[in-house]
Structure 1
Amino acid sequence: MLGTIERIWRYPIKSIGGELLDEVAVDARGLAGDRLYAVRDAEGKFGSGKNTRRFRRMPGLLQLQSRYPGGTATEVPELLAPDGEPVPDPNSYVRHYLDRNDVEVAREGAISHFDQLPLSVLTTATLDWVRAAVPGVPVDERRFRPNLLVRTPPGTPPFVEDEWFGTTARIGDALCIRFQRSSERCVMTNEAQQDLPHSPLILRVIAQAHDMRLDALATVEQPGCVQLGDTVELT
C-alpha cells in the first residue's frame, strides 16, 4: 500500500483556485469537470502563471476560486471573488479584474486545458519536505495544485513519487491509474493565493533539490470513483 487519499482537489477553471471534494468520478479525462473551463483571450491562449505557446500569463488568477454549484460538473462553474463571494457575471468580472477586454471564461474545446497529463498526485512526504526546506513560508498542497494528496506512512522519503513511474495503482474499489512522470514546476508555485503569500523560495528549493520536478502525473487505466480515505495500492 502506497498510502491513503487525504484530500481531493478539483479546479473547475484552470489556473484559478479549486474546491475540496469528499468523492468524485474519474474517467480518461481525469476528475469529472476538472479544468473544464479556462480564462481565454482573443488569441485563444489560456490564462496561466506563465507565457508559452498555449498559455498567457495573467497575474492574480490564483486569488480567485471556482466551484460547481451542488458539486456536480454538469453545471457551469461559479467564479468566486477574493472575498469568497460568487460573482454574477464571470466574463464581466474577469475583464474588469484583469483590466482586459479580450478575455472570457470558456469551456474546453478542441485544445486541452491540461498542461500535461490528466491527473496529478502528491504525497504528504514530499509536501512535508517542502515545508521543512522553506521555514517561515506558509506551504500547503495548493501551491502545487494536485488532484490527489496521498497520506504516506511515517518514514516515507520525499519525492517517493519518482519510484512509482511506470507502475499501476488501484484507488478504492475500481479506479486504476498509471504513473507516468512528474510535473516540471513553474513560477505558479511561488504565486500568492488567498492566505498564501508570494515567495520565490519555493521554486528555488525544488529546482536545487529535484530539478524543478514535483508530483506524479498519471493517466487513467480504468475509470472509477475516488473517495477520501481510499487506499492507494500497487497492482
Structure 2
Amino acid sequence: MAEIVGVVERLWRYPVKSTAGERLTQVPVDDRGLAGDRLYAVRDGEGKLGSGKNTRRFRRMDGLLRLGSRLGNLLDGPELLDPLGRAVADPVAFLRAYLQRDDVTLAREDTVSHFDQLPVSLLTTATLDWVREAVPTVLVDERRFRPNILLRTPPGTRPFVEDDWFGREGELKSGARLAFIRSSERCVMATAAQPGLPHAPEILRVLARAHANRLDALATVSGPGLLRVGDRLRLL
C-alpha cells in the first residue's frame, strides 16, 4: 500500500554547477533530472569542471559557491549572479577575473554529465532538523546540502528516514516517479561559506560520527512529470 511520507516544501535547481541555487515553485523532471539543473558548469582548459573538490573530473575552484545562477529559457544561457546577487553582463569575463584564471569558460553539458552522482537529491526536514540540533552554534539550512527537493515530513519522523526508502519508488501528484538508490557522501562543500552561511567545519564532524558522512536520498527518475511545492510524496 502507498504511504504518504511528506510534502514538497522547497524546490531547488542549480543552473551552473557549484554555484548557489535557484528556488522554484514548480519544475519538470525527466530522466536527466530537473529541467536545467547543472546544465552549465565552469570548465577549465583541461576540460575539468569547477567544483569544491579535486577529482578525475572536477577541479576545485574556491569562491563558486558565493556566486548564484538562474535560468529563464532552457534555450538561453544562464544568468550568473555576483556575491551581492547582481546579474553580471559577461559571465565568462567575470569568471576569469573573479577566479583569476584565463582558461575558464561557461560550458553547457554535452556528452559528459555535470552531475557528481545521480540526478535528483531529496532531503527531509527530519534530517535537516537533526543537523540543526547536533550543531546548535552553526547556522544550518538546506542550502548547505544542495538538495533539489526539501521534503516536509510529519512530526516525530526520525532523522535519516531517507535510508528506509532505498530500493523503493516515490510518486508525486503529476505522476512523476523517483527511484531512490542511495545517499550522498558529504564533502567540504557542506561546510563552505556562502552568502548568509559562514564556514562550518563542525557539520562534517557530526555527520561522520553519526551517519558515516552520508545525508539525503539520491534518486533516478523512473517516470517524468512535474514537481510542485505543496505536492505530497507517496512511497510505493
Judge same fold: TM > 0.5, yes or no: yes
The one-letter amino acid paired with 1:35 is R
- The whole-number CA distance in structure 2 between the counterparts of 1:185 and 1:212 is 6
Match of 2:29 in 1: 26
Residues 1-235 of structure 1 mapped to structure 2, 5 A cutoff:
1-69=4-72, 72-235=73-236
SS in 1 for 2:184: coil
- The whole-number CA distance in structure 2 between the counterparts of 1:192 and 1:75 is 29
Quote how far apart the aligned CAs of 1:74 are.
Answer: 2.9
Quote how far apart the aligned CAs of 1:124 are.
Answer: 0.2
Runs of 4+ in structure 1 over 4 Å off: none
The one-letter amino acid paired with 1:206 is L
1:51-83 deviations in Å (ceiling 9; x for gaps): 0000000011000000013xx333211000011
- The whole-number CA distance in structure 1 between the counterparts of 2:67 and 2:16 is 10
- The whole-number CA distance in structure 2 between the counterparts of 1:128 and 1:114 is 26
- The whole-number CA distance in structure 2 between the counterparts of 1:173 and 1:100 is 44
- The whole-number CA distance in structure 2 between the counterparts of 1:91 and 1:199 is 30
1:78-110 deviations in Å (ceiling 9; x for gaps): 000011110001001011001111111110111
1:125-173 deviations in Å (ceiling 9; x for gaps): 0000001111121010000000000000000000000000000110122
Q: CA RMSD in A?
A: 0.7
TM-score (norm 1): 0.98
The one-letter amino acid paired with 2:59 is R
- The whole-number CA distance in structure 2 between the counterparts of 1:153 and 1:200 is 29
SS in 2 for 1:66: strand
- The whole-number CA distance in structure 2 between the counterparts of 1:218 and 1:211 is 19
How many positions carry a matched residue from both structures? 233
SS in 2 for 1:215: strand
Point out where structure 1 has 5 or more consecutive residues left out of the alignment. Answer: none
The one-letter amino acid paired with 1:156 is T
The one-letter amino acid paired with 1:230 is D
- The whole-number CA distance in structure 1 between the counterparts of 2:144 and 2:80 is 19
Point out where structure 2 has 5 or more consecutive residues left out of the alignment. Answer: none
- The whole-number CA distance in structure 1 between the counterparts of 2:174 and 2:29 is 12
SS in 2 for 1:94: helix
